[in-house]
């Protein structure tokens, strides 16, 4: 601006050009600022974007009528959901595994999909302006339209796992689901593994299945031994040694114990 005034005052030729340049720069700055603010607002207030709405239909109608394809005749009161169906339950994924396993012993790894205490669906919040409004969202029940199968697999290299491969179980409303594996390390070491849990949605009215990876949980198991002995060997040796050691030394130990007791009793009597 100063340049412009200076230029106007000095009646230089490039005065108007510089002024226009300034205007363009300021305009660009305002545009950038506006875009940034709008992007920020979108991030702050994420909203469910409906897939197909009446607006979409009205905007697409001219293009569709010009083509030989059959006209789409859905109305605003059509029952096509705009939100994909979901399982209307809050669940807890519980993974249990042993931190330490003796070599040769088997231990259990459990994965369960329990029901949450709070149970069913909670409302979803929408931010409108500055006020937070709680609006219950009607998410279609997936159990009504699909068969839901939970599939679990345990990958644990270096350790014998039974059963191997994928285990499947149908997920029923309100019912927990559990998968159990038996693991048996054959050598000492730290073993890292992953439990994969997938959900498979099979439509009741036919159609293609859909697979969703629900969770991948890492577990670590340490296989240990004692003086080179595994769990089974240690127990057998321990049992045999205890019997032998007891037979050899226990009678003498008992005599010593009784004599000690007698001496104390005598001292107490005096």
Partner 1 sequence: MRGMKLHHWLGFILLVLSLILLIWGLWPEDLSVRVVPISPTEMQLPFRHFFENSFSLWI
Q: Is 100 a residue that touches partner 1 (CB under 8 A)? A: yes
| Look-up of token digits 């108007």 | 16
Phi, psi of 184 (to 5 degrees): -140, 105
Name the strand (E) or helix (H) holding 33: helix 15-44
Q: Which of 49, 45, 3 is nearest to 23 (CA)?
A: 3
Cβ-based nearer residue to partner 1, 37 or 213 = 213
Q: How many residues bind partner 1 (CB under 8 A)?
A: 67
Q: What is the spatial distance between Cα 75 and Cα 52, in angstroms, rounded to a whole number?
A: 11
Q: Which of residues 149-208 bind partner 1 (CB under 8 A)?
A: 199, 201, 203, 207-208
Q: How far apart are CA 224 and CA 181, in angstroms?
A: 19
Q: How far is the CB of 266 from partner 1 (least distance, A)?
A: 18
For residue 54, state whether it binds partner 1 (rule: CB under 8 A): no
Q: Does 92 bind partner 1 (CB under 8 A)?
A: yes
Q: Does 240 bind partner 1 (CB under 8 A)?
A: yes
241: contact with partner 1 by CB under 8 A: yes
- Pick 27 or 189: Cβ nearer partner 1: 189
What is the dihedral sign for C-alpha 65, 69, 70, 76? negative
Looking at the Cβ atoms of 16 and 90, the one nearer to partner 1 is: 90
Among 237, 258, 263, 264, binds partner 1 (CB under 8 A): 237
> In Å, how far are 54, 83, 262 from 50, measured between CA atoms?
10, 7, 90
Pick 17 or 108: Cβ nearer partner 1: 108
What is each CA distance from 218 to 85, 97, 188, 211, in whole angstroms? 29, 10, 19, 21
Closest approach of partner 1 to the CB of residue 38, in Å: 24
Bond before 163 cis per omega within 30 degrees? yes
Q: Contact region for partner 1 (CB under 8 A) — 4-12, 37-45, 152-160, 245-253? A: 245-253
Q: Are 221 and 137 in contact (CB under 8 A)?
A: no
Contact set with partner 1 (CB under 8 A) = 51-52, 70, 72, 74, 80-81, 84-102, 107, 113, 116, 121, 139, 142, 146, 199, 201, 203, 207-208, 210-212, 214-215, 217, 219, 226, 229, 231-232, 234-235, 237-242, 244-250, 252-253, 256
């Amino acid at each position: 601006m100063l340049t412009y005034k200076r230029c106007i005052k000095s009646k230089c030729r490039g005065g108007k050009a510089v002024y226009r340049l300034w205007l363009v720069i300021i305009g660009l700055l305002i545009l950038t600022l506006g875009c940034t603010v709008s992007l920020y607002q979108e991030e702050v207030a994420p909203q469910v974007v409906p897939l197909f709405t009446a607006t979409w239909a009205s905007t697409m109608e001219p293009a569709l009528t010009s083509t030989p394809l059959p006209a789409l005749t859905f109305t605003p009161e059509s029952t096509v959901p705009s939100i994909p169906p979901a399982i209307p339950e809050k669940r807890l994924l519980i993974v249990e595994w042993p931190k330490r396993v003796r070599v040769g012993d088997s231990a259990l790894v459990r994965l369960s999909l329990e029901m949450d205490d709070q149970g069913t669906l909670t409302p979803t919040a929408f931010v409108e302006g500055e006020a937070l409004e709680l609006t219950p969202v009607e998410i279609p029940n997936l159990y009504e339209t699909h068969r839901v199968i939970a599939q679990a697999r345990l990958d644990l290299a270096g350790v014998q796992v039974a059963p191997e491969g994928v285990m499947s179980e149908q997920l029923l409303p309100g019912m927990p689901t559990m998968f159990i594996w038996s693991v048996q390390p054959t050598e000492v070491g730290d073993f890292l593994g992953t439990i994969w849990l997938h959900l498979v949605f099979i439509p009741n009215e036919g159609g293609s299945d859909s697979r969703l990876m629900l969770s991948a949980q890492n577990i670590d198991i340490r296989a240990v031994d004692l003086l080179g002995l595994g769990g089974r060997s240690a127990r057998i040796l321990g049992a045999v040694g205890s019997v032998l050691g007891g037979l050899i030394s226990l009678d003498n130990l008992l005599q010593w114990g009784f004599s000690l007791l007698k001496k104390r009793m005598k001292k107490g009597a005096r």
